[in-house]
């Protein structure tokens, strides 16, 4: 099964990611990853760090001449800012205290809880790893997972639906029928990755206003997929449910505080008849169709053949240029929370990370279902499974009834 992990500190020498369980013979190149890496750095409201980092990805293991070997793939992203932090972040022992210690915990960050947990006296030991700089690695690994999913005909796209109080109204959301390429172009033409131009402008204005006030903003992004094969995930055991895996994947992103699937929280307000998606027979017998997709592509923790529709809510950025009150842990005296170079709003970037995490969670689920040591074997297993689905559907209407 596909598994992955990340390592690295925000101002350390490099970020590292490793992903294993990929089939041998899969096309993989830095060029396939660089577009997503560039997209994560974009978005109106980002801070100065994004201008320093080039986020170039290097393959260290598992790939030879543009093809996966079936062994673990390791990627490295050098932190260019490390040259300004060599003394503070040197992994080797050094005399004296590092110069840029942090002693005033920032509300909304891991600073306090992490310091108590690990016994750190310098909060930098916490924030260096808790920082969302780590998401650069997830986006790189997510691009690899996307490449794997493309072998199964699965595509994933995301866009921003809300920043602060500015939200795309329900009737202006891109229709489910909109081709992903069209949607992607609309998203990319917006500085906040909002596919509705007028609303995007209002979002930018809201970020501008927050910045002037020394404040920050959060928001909501949506991730959609093309129709998934039926049967990813399982209701048979709690930890095999795909809805749970996708929620964890999205909730694991720094600052994400809520996840909705399909209608999400709105479903709790409606009666059942206005929520669940009726079945109707296909025009040619041999298939079941749905009249809508309120379930967001998942029933019983299993993909039901519909496109996925997921939303994630991001809280406003915690670092404020007009800082909240805090306490200096050296002096015990009130002090404004410390400031690390920071974004005003990172919802557009988070949407790219969300897309990557959905790719990784789906790749995991697909690799569990189909297995396959090589691309050839994976595709044979996938086609076998699809043939069984056709057989199952072919029996519709032929029963005794
Ligand atoms: C793409 C991205 C960029 C972020 N940039 C910042 C930032 O510049 N400043 C900041 O204070 N928080 C930023 N955050 C959020 C923090 O990393 C996060 O709030 C913090 O680590 C605490 O974790 P929690 O909010 O999940 O509890 C960012 C999050 C994401 C996903």
Ligand 1 pocket test: which of 250, 317, 322, 345 has the largest number of ligand atoms within 8 Å of its C-beta?
Answer: 317
Ligand 1 pocket test: which of 255, 258, 350 has the largest number of ligand atoms within 8 Å of its C-beta?
Answer: 255
- C-beta neighbour count of 53 within 10 angstroms: 17
Q: What is the pLDDT of residue 64?
A: 98
- The pair of structure tokens assigned to 175 is 């229709």
- 399 occurs within a structural domain: no
Closest CA to 134 of 278, 252, 23: 252
Q: How far is the CA of 316 from the centre of ligand 1 (A)?
A: 8
Phi, psi of 37 (to 5 degrees): -65, -40
Q: Is the CB of 363 under 6 A from ligand 1?
A: no
Q: What is the pLDDT of residue 104?
A: 97
- 48 occurs within a structural domain: yes
Ligand 1 atom index nearest CA of 130: 21
Angle of the 135-150 helix axis to the 347-370 helix axis, nearest 10: 50
- 397 occurs within a structural domain: no
Q: How far is the CA of 318 from the centre of ligand 1 (A)?
A: 7
Indicate the pTM of the whole model.
Answer: 0.97
Rounded to whole angstroms, the Cα distance separating 401 from 390 reads: 21
Q: What is the pLDDT of residue 367?
A: 98
- 398 occurs within a structural domain: no
Q: Is the CB of 351 under 6 A from ligand 1?
A: no
Q: Is the CB of 192 under 6 A from ligand 1?
A: no
Distances (CA, A) of 43 to 185, 193, 200: 15, 7, 11
Q: What is the pLDDT of residue 46?
A: 85
- 208 occurs within a structural domain: yes
Ligand 1 atom index nearest CA of 342: 8
Cβ 353 vs Cβ 343: under 8 Å: no
Rounded to whole angstroms, the Cα distance separating 400 from 52 reads: 69
Ligand 1 pocket test: which of 111, 254, 312, 357 has the largest number of ligand atoms within 8 Å of its C-beta?
Answer: 254
Q: Is the CB of 342 under 6 A from ligand 1?
A: yes
* CATH code of the domain containing 286: 3.60.150.10
Q: Is the CB of 253 under 6 A from ligand 1?
A: yes
Q: How far is the CA of 169 from the centre of ligand 1 (A)?
A: 27
Ligand 1 atom index nearest CA of 253: 31
Q: Is the CB of 110 under 6 A from ligand 1?
A: yes
102 lies in which domain range? 3-392
Number of domains in the chain: 1
Q: What is the pLDDT of residue 285?
A: 64
Whose tokens are 């005003």? That residue is 344
- 114 occurs within a structural domain: yes
Q: What is the pLDDT of residue 93?
A: 93
Q: Is the CB of 242 under 6 A from ligand 1?
A: no
List, for residues 267-325, the tens digit of each pLDDT value. 999 999 999 999 999 876 678 899 999 999 999 999 999 999 999 999 999 999 999 99
- 143 occurs within a structural domain: yes
Q: How far is the CA of 186 from the centre of ligand 1 (A)?
A: 26
Ligand 1 atom index nearest CA of 47: 8
Sign for the CA dihedral angle at 225, 227, 232, 233 comes to: positive
Q: Which residues of the chain have pLDDT under 50?
A: none
Q: Is the CB of 343 under 6 A from ligand 1?
A: yes
Whose tokens are 């990929």? That residue is 22
- 177 occurs within a structural domain: yes
List, for residues 370-398, the tens digit of each pLDDT value. 999 999 999 999 999 999 999 999 888 88
Rounded to whole angstroms, the Cα distance separating 351 from 354 reads: 5
């Amino acid at each position: 099964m596909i598994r992955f992990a990340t390592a690295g500190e925000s101002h350390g020498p490099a970020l590292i990611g490793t992903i294993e369980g990929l089939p041998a013979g899969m096309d993989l190149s830095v060029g396939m990853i660089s577009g997503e890496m560039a997209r994560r750095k974009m978005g109106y409201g980002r801070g100065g760090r994004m201008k320093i980092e080039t986020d170039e990805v290097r393959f260290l293991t598992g790939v030879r001449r543009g093809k996966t070997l079936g062994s673990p793939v390791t990627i490295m992203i050098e932190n260019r800012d490390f040259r300004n932090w060599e003394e503070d972040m040197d992994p080797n022992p050094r005399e004296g205290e590092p110069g840029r210690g942090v002693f005033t915990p920032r509300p909304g960050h891991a600073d306090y809880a992490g310091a108590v947990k690990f016994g750190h006296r310098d909060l930098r030991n916490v924030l260096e790893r808790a920082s969302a700089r780590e998401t650069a690695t997830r986006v790189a690994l997510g691009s690899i997972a996307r490449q794997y999913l493309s072998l199964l005909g699965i595509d994933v796209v995301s866009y921003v639906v809300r920043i602060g109080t500015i939200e795309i109204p329900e009737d202006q959301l891109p229709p489910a029928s909109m081709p992903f390429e069209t949607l992607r172009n609309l998203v990319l033409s917006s500085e906040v990755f909002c596919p509705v131009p007028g609303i995007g402008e209002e979002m930018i204005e809201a970020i501008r206003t927050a910045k002037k006030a020394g404040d920050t903003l959060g928001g909501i992004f949506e991730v959609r997929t093309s129709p998934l094969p039926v049967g990813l995930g399982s209701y048979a055991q709690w930890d095999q449910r795909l809805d749970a895996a996708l929620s964890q994947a999205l909730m694991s992103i720094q600052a994400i505080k809520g996840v909705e699937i399909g209608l999400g929280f709105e479903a709790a307000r409606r009666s059942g008849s206005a929520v669940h998606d009726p079945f109707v027979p296909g025009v040619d017998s041999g298939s079941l169709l749905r009249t809508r997709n309120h379930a967001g592509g998942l029933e019983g923790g299993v993909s039901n053949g519909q496109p996925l529709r997921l939303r994630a809510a991001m809280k406003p950025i915690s670092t404020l240029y007009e800082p909240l009150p805090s306490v200096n842990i050296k002096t015990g005296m009130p002090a404004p929370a410390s400031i690390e170079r920071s974004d005003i709003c990172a919802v557009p970037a988070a949407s790219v990370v969300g897309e990557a995490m959905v790719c990784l969670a789906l790749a995991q689920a697909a690799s569990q279902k189909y297995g396959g040591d090589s691309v050839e074997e994976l595709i044979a297993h996938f086609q076998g499974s699809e043939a069984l689905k056709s057989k199952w559907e072919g029996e519709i209407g032929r029963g005794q009834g």
